[in-house]
Amino acid sequence: MMGITWTSSNLGYPRLGENREWKKLLERLWKNELDEETFLKEMKHLRLNHLKKQKAKGIQSIPVGDFTFYDHMLDTAVMFGIIPRRFHSTDKKISLSTYFAMARGTAEAPACEMTKWFNTNYHYIVPELNETIPTLTENKPLKAYLEVKEELGIEGKPVLIGPITFLKLSKGYKKESFGSLLQKFVPLYVKILQELEEAGAAWIQIDEPSLNASFPIEDYFFVQKVYETFQREVPNISIMLQTYFEAADHYTKLVSLPVDGIGLDFVHGWEKNIQALKTEGFPANKSLGVGLIDGRNVWRADLQKKHSELELITSYLPEGNHFLQPSSSLLHVPVSTNSERKLSPVLKDSLSFADEKLEEINSLTNMLNKKPDEKWLEKNQKVFQRFAETFRQQSEKITGEKNKLPSKRSLPFSERKTHQDNKWKLPLLPTTTIGSFPQTKEVRLERRAFRKGEKSINEYQTFIQNKIKEWIDIQEEIGLDVLVHGEFERNDMVEFFGEKLNGFAFTENGWVQSYGSRCVKPPIIYDDVAFEHPMTVEETRFAQSLTEKPVKGMLTGPVTILNWSFERDDIPREEVAYQIALALSYEIKALESAGIEMIQVDEPALREGLPLKREEWDRYLNWAVHAFRLATSNVKPSTQIHTHMCYSEFHDMIEAIRALDADVISIETSRSHGELIEAFETAIYEKEIGLGIYDIHSPRIPSVGEMKEMIERALRVLPASLFWINPDCGLKTRNKEETVKSLKNMVQAAEEIRESHKLQIK
């Protein structure tokens, strides 16, 4: 009797390197400190090291082709020759300069749109199809497969984004054209697979996470046709159709597809996937990829519990070989806990980054194959016991304080607006920024010196105040109507607040890629979150003392702090959000008491927290909105609450955005080239709003004419009395010259529109 055997597998590995070597290589290339040949050589060295490490950790099915120079969706677009005309290249092989121009923009051409990868904190570059005829410029998976086979003797598992997901996440075509467009891509995928088959590849991982995102059942017609074609044209290669981030939609149809393996997420989709296995079974002619180690959070797996879950899964499986793997690519977690020297031993032992997750997969695989490491298992159980004895679950005191907070402003917006207009007397189309100004090398070095004890607190505070004064003067000179202090004292919009609240821990090297070379170090919420003392009052009050114009207080909202942190996985997420909201409500009252009565509470991550299943949206949005209102409702009617959101598809959550009851909301729209404005042609939004009119993620400086065009279009669907003028996000990643020139153009555009429309005071 054959029985069941298990193979340890991985779906993807972090690109960054343990010390962010990947980021540093990219930025040196962009600064012309590195030639292309050296860049490629160093990137290859890093890539091969990642693969050697996975092999050393006991992974048998090692992904290849997941490594990228910027983004995997951008790689796929370039592989298929999907190059927007503004970057047009006649070369068959797309140059690195064209590749990076699409991601970052040039002086002549705006960058491609960037948005969140499903409900994660990672951003991808959105392919622009727009009548482009796809062609195979290079078989990237084949190149990756041959490289690791020849260089390391590893039989890798090529990874590529499936055609369904690639098209679902692309733009520039009509919905009814999906099927005909798909037919143009399928032959190119077939060619990729045929060449991999000829090269000897055994398994191919084709990622189709879109199949878990409320996938329309009628579209399974296309899925069936695609994979029937692959099976017919490339019969001797084994395809693992990989899903993640949620439970499978239409399980029966998914497992009936003509592929050799199906990968399911048993972390974020446990209940629905296990129920489907129980009631529908699993095909005898397929392998199951069991995603049981959390690829998106940093907590150590309870091996006893995981083993019990695996035994349950096994009871529903046919004989044969199956795969044990993370729930998703490990792209979403830091690389290793090895360099974490400052965390408490109890907390550090409770963490598992990418490398530790590979060890967990290997250990569980051995347990399933009857080769358990009893000492490792015993050590694992002691970790959970110590954590439970050390850290709280949730205190009654915090719950009681939270329940006393109002969740509704004392007056409706229409009445608050009168109070606020009388107080501020701003011109129509008031100009402002989103909050941060350039975090230059000088600022970072000064902060580092202070943290190392090389600068006293007085020296550091003097430096920060000088930077605040410099940029208050710059804003006055530019002519902005509402100013900000610049956030020079802040390293990251979440980390800064986490460092000042109880319950957060911070790593030394726990970096995760956000987009391109932009990395973040998410805080770890390990205990009750609680307010200890004012966090932003000192700098904001100082800035306000320098000008007669209003200075906004700047806070990060509760849902964003939650979504951009690694939260406890044993407490409901909404309860953690309410704890953060309570802490922020105290900070808002402290700002108001200090005379700061225009306060921005940013929620750029509100949308990315949406569940992939639409039927679960309402529950999430209800508690997310409630958390925001708990934080912001306990203020005077004349205190103006602002918020900011990135990459929001306004039309599909307008009711939730309205329910936040913020007085002013700013939303990114520049990278989508104004498409968000279309939402207002059919939806009425009665509060004040700023649609970001230029892209801060690109170094290019937009012209006055470009910004006027964006404003004019917005004014066709929005009343001038409600419209604000601002960039689409904070300016910390830009340099001083770019920032000043762009803001001068923005203010000039606003002034010219006011003049042409004869607009005066609100």
Burial-class residue 414 by CB neighbours within 10 Å (0-12, 13-18, 19+).
exposed
Residue 478 reports pLDDT greater than 90: yes
User: What DSSP letter does each residue of 288-302 carry, written as one string?
Assistant: EEEEEE-SS--BPP-
Which tops the pLDDT comparison, 663 or 604?
663
646 annotated to a ligand binding site: yes
The confidence score (pLDDT) of residue 107 equals 83
User: Is 171 known to sit in a ligand binding site?
Assistant: no
Distance CA 316, CA 67 (A): 35
* Contact between 419 and 598 (Cβ < 8 Å): no
Q: What is the pLDDT of residues 277-322, one digit of tens each?
A: 999 999 999 999 999 999 999 999 999 999 999 999 999 999 999 9
Contacts of residue 699, Cβ cutoff 8 Å, sequence gap at least 6: 104, 105, 734, 735, 738
- Contact by Cβ (8 Å): 320, 1: no
Mean pLDDT of 374-401: 83
Do the annotations mark residue 597 as ligand-binding? no
Q: What is the mean pLDDT of residues 203-220?
A: 96
22 annotated ligand binder: yes
| Predicted confidence (pLDDT) per residue in 576-614, tens digit | 999 999 999 999 999 999 999 999 999 988 888 889 999
308 annotated to bind ligand: no
Q: Name the CATH topology of 396-439+469-499+515-757.
A: TIM Barrel (3.20.20)
- Which region among 75-79, 145-149, 567-571, 674-678 has the lowest average model confidence (pLDDT)? 674-678
Instruction: Specify the fold of 4-390.
Output: TIM Barrel (3.20.20)
Q: ∠241-245-248 over CA atoms, to 5°?
A: 55
436 labelled as ligand-binding? yes
CA 381 to CA 544: how far, in whole Å? 53
| DSSP structural state of residue 612 | S
Q: What is the mean pLDDT of the chain?
A: 92
Q: What is the Cα–Cα distance from 325 to 137, expressed in whole angstroms?
A: 32
Asked if residue 644 belongs to a known ligand binding site, the reply is yes
At residue 394, the pLDDT reads 67
CB distance 754 to 712 below 8 Å: no
Query: Quick one: pLDDT at residue 25?
Result: 98
Q: State yes or no: 729 annotated in a binding site.
A: yes
686-694: average pLDDT: 86
Short-list 587, 582, 530, CA closest to 553: 587
Rounded mean pLDDT of 146-165?
A: 97
Does the annotation place 116 within a ligand binding site?
Answer: yes
pLDDT at 647: 55
Catalytic sites, residue numbers: 697
Percent of the chain surpassing pLDDT 90: 77
pTM over 0.75: yes
564 annotated ligand binder: yes
Question: Can you name the residues that pair with 722 across neighbouring β-strands?
Answer: none
Residue 647 CA to residue 120 CA, distance in Å, equals: 13
Q: How far is CA 59 from the centre of its chain?
A: 27
If residue 35 lies in a helix (H) or strand (E), which one and from where to where? Answer: none
Which element (helix H / strand E) includes 439?
Answer: none
Q: Is the pLDDT of residue 653 over 90?
A: no
- 758 annotated to bind ligand: no
Q: What is the Cα–Cα distance from 514 to 123, expressed in whole angstroms?
A: 6
Q: Looking at per-residue confidence, does 134 or 680 come out higher?
A: 134
The mean pLDDT value for 482-498 works out to 92
Is 706 assigned to a binding site?
A: no
Confidence band, pLDDT 50/70/90 cuts, at residue 649: low
Q: Is 515 exposed, middle or buried (0-12, 13-18, 19+ CB in 10 A)?
A: buried
DSSP letter (8 states) at residue 318: P
User: How much is the average pLDDT of 2-31?
Assistant: 95
In the predicted model, is pLDDT for residue 652 greater than 80?
Answer: no
Q: Is the pLDDT of residue 112 over 60?
A: yes
542-558 per-position pLDDT tens digit = 999 999 999 999 999 99
* 696, pLDDT greater than 90: no
> DSSP of 682-711, one letter per residue?
T----SEEEE--S-TTSS----HHHHHHHH
Of residues 646 and 723, more confidently modeled: 723
Residue 697: CB atoms within 10 A of its CB come to: 21
Tokens (6 digits) for 109:
């051409």
Phi-psi category of residue 126: left, alpha or beta, with phi > 0 → left and psi -120 to 50 → alpha: beta
Query: Would you say 21 is a known binding-site residue?
Result: yes
Using the predicted structure, report yes or no on whether residue 672 has a pLDDT greater than 70. Answer: no
The larger pLDDT score, comparing residue 647 to residue 341, is at: 341
pLDDT in tens, 700-710: 888 999 999 88
Residue 147 marked as a ligand binder: no
Helices (H) and strands (E) in the chain, counts: 26, 20
What are the sequence ranges of the domains in the chain? 4-390, 396-439+469-499+515-757
In this prediction, what percent of the chain has a pLDDT beyond 70? 96
pLDDT of 1 over the 50 cut: no
pLDDT at 692: 85
Q: Rounded CA gap, 333 and 357, in Å?
A: 10
